[in-house]
Amino acid sequence: MTAVSDPATASPTGGKFKAFTERTLTRLLHLPPPTTEYTVHRRVQVPMRDGVELLADHYEPTTATPAGTLLVRCPYGRGFPFSTMYASLYAARGYHVVFQSVRGTFGSAGNFEPMVNEKADGADTVEWLRHQPWFTGSFATIGLSYLGFTQWALLADPPPEMKAAVITVGVHDPSGPRWGTGSFGLNDFLGWSDLVSHQEDPRLRTVLRQARARRALARATSGLPAGEAGRALLGAGGAAWWEDWLDHPEATDPFWAQRNAWDALKRADIPVLLIGGWQDVFLDQTLTQYDALKRRGVDVAMTVGSWTHTQIMYKGAATATRESLDWLDAHLGGRGTTRSPVRVEMNGKGWVDLPEWPPAMPERLLYLQPTGRLGDAAPPDTAPPSRFTYNPVDPTPTIGGRLLAPEGGYRRDAKLAERPDVLCFTGDRLPADLYVVGTPVIELSHSCDNPYHDLFVRVSEVDAKGVSRNVSDGYVRSTPGSARSEGSDSVRIELDATAHRFRAGSRIRVLIAGGSHPRFVRNLGTSESLVSGRELMVSTHTVHLGDGGVSRLVLPAGLEPPSGH
C-alpha cells in the first residue's frame, strides 16, 4: 500500500510568518532550535480493512537523516492547535509525522463511535505505514486525551515497530471517568459529546458560539430526565452514543469491553512516558497506568503537574513538550534517558524528582469533631453526630475540581462550606509547613435514611487570610445491598492523589456533602434509571463523631517533602 498524495496538496513550509511562529514557540517553550525545514502532504488516504479510508497529513522533514517517525491519531481535526503541538514542532526537528483524523471525523470516512474502532483502525494504519518508502522502520506515538486512548488501543496488540509512547492525560478505560465512582460524570461527558457532535461547524469557533454552548450545557445538566435533557442539547442526530453510555453503569458490563484498552497495560513493553495533572479528569487513570507498567518492569516514567485537563495545552505545554522531545529522542535513538522515574509538581513548593510513586510518607490522623472542628485527638464516645439533608431539587453544586470544563481546577470554595447541605470541619492553624504527598483517605462512620445516596468529600486549604481552596476530592455512590447503603457503617473513600504543601498558618478543612452537581449526575434518591428518571427524594445523612462511631481523615503527610533518593 502506498500513500495517495496529490502533488497540489504538498505544501513546503516557509515564509516570514511561519519562521516567526516557530521562533516564538521555541522561545516560549524553551525548546532546542529547529533543525530542518519540512513539507506537508495533506489529505493522504489511508485504507482500512473494511474499505473505509481515513485522511492524514504527512509532515516530511527535509533531511537525509530523519530522527524517526511519529504517529498521531486524533478526532479533533488536523489544524491548530493539535497540528502545532504534535506535528510541526516535531517535523521541524527531524521527525516524519503522520497526523491522522480518526474514523468519522474531518474528512475520514465512516462513523465516529468513541473508542470502538481505534484498535482495528490503528493496526491498519500501522500496516499502511510499513509500506511507505519514507518510513524509518520504527515509530513512536504521542498525544493527549483521546489521542492518548488511540495509543493504548495500539498497545493492546503492540506492533513490533512501535518503540516508544508519550501519553498525556490519556484514558485507557472510558468507564472509569464516567462511572468509576458509581456516579456518572455528567458535565464532562455531555459537554464533550456536544463538542464532538458540532466541532466541524465553523460557528463553533466564535466566542459567542462557545458562550452559548456553555449556557446550553448548564441548562441540559439541570434538566430531567437526564437522557432526554442531554438529547435536547445534542439534537436528534448528535452523539448517538449518549444514552448508551448513560445507561451502562457497571464497569464489568460487556458494553465496555470493546471500548477499553486494559489489555495494553498487560502487554505494553516499550518505554512509556505518562504526563498528567493533579486536577486532570483522568488523573486516576494515569496513576493506574504507571502502577501497572511499573509492576511489570516496563520502562515507564511519569510527570504530574498542577494542571487541569485543558491547562496541559498552555500552562503545562512547555514542560510536556520538552519532556516529550527528550523521551522520543532518547528512545527512538536508543540512547536512554537520565530523567528521574517520577517528577511531580508540589503545590506551593515546586518540582520534585522521585524514584517512584507514591513515595513513603508518615501518616497523619485528623478526627472530625463536634461544632465543626478537625483535631488530632479522637472525640469522646459521647460526642453527638452531625447531620445534613441532601435535596436533589437543589443539588449541592460543583466548585472546582477535576473537570474538563474551564470551571475546573483549584478554586475558592468558601461558598460551598456555607451551604446548609454541607458539613464543614476545620482544623487549627498549622505551626509549620505540612507536606501531603500521596492519596488521602477519609473513613466515615456514616448512615443515611435513603439507600440511594451519594457522598462527596473534599479536603481544602484555608490560608492565613481565610481564603479556602480545594486540594483533593472523593466521591462514591451507594445503592441498596451495598455495604454502605443501610444502617450505620464505615465508609472508606480514597480521595484524589495530590502533592501539596499546606503552609504554616493555614488550616486543613474537610467538607462532606451528598452530591457535586453537575460534575456528577445528581442522585435522584430513587431506583429510577438515570436515563428516564424524574421522581426526586431527599436524603438525610448522619456522620458519627463519637456516639455511634468515629470519623477521621488519614493523610500521607510529614513536615518534610519526600526525598528524591
CA neighbor of 391 nearest in space, from 522, 543, 534: 522
ω into 518 cis (within 30 of 0): yes
pLDDT of 4: 35
CB count within 10 Å of CB 412 equals 13
Q: Which stretch of DSSP H or E encloses residue 491?
A: strand 489-494
Q: Are strands 539-544 and 434-438 parallel, antiparallel or unpaired?
A: unpaired
Query: How far is the C-alpha of 271 from the C-alpha of 195, rounded, in Å?
Result: 33
Q: Are strands 363-369 and 373-375 parallel, antiparallel or unpaired?
A: antiparallel
Beta strands in 347-400 (DSSP E): 350-354, 363-369, 373-375, 386-390
Q: Are strands 68-74 and 139-144 parallel, antiparallel or unpaired?
A: parallel
Residue pLDDT, tens place only, 515-554: 999 999 999 999 998 889 999 999 999 999 998 899 999 9
User: Any idea which residue has 462513523 for its cell?
Assistant: 111
Say if residues 464 and 430 touch (Cβ distance below 8 Å): no
User: With a cut of 50, which residues of the chain have pLDDT below it?
Assistant: 1-8, 483-487
Instruction: Identify residue 361 by its one-letter amino acid code.
Output: M
Residue pLDDT, tens place only, 306-354: 999 999 999 999 999 999 999 999 999 777 788 999 999 999 899 999 9
The CA–CA distances, whole Å, from 186 to 13, 20, 178, 242, 456 equal 43, 42, 8, 11, 15
pLDDT of 204: 55
Query: How far is the C-alpha of 475 from the C-alpha of 520, rounded, in Å?
Result: 9
**What does the block give as the cell for 542?**
448522619
**What does the block give as the cell for 329?**
529522542
pLDDT of 85: 93
List b or e across 316-340, with b for residues whose CB sees 16 or more CB atoms inside 10 angstroms. Answer: bbebbbebbbbbbbbbbeeeeeeeb
pLDDT of 560: 95
Q: Are strands 489-494 and 441-448 parallel, antiparallel or unpaired?
A: antiparallel
Query: How far is the C-alpha of 334 from the C-alpha of 328, rounded, in Å?
Result: 9
User: Any idea which residue has 503537574 for its cell?
Assistant: 305
Residue pLDDT, tens place only, 479-528: 776 544 444 588 999 999 999 999 999 999 999 999 999 999 999 999 99
**What does the block give as the cell for 198?**
458540532
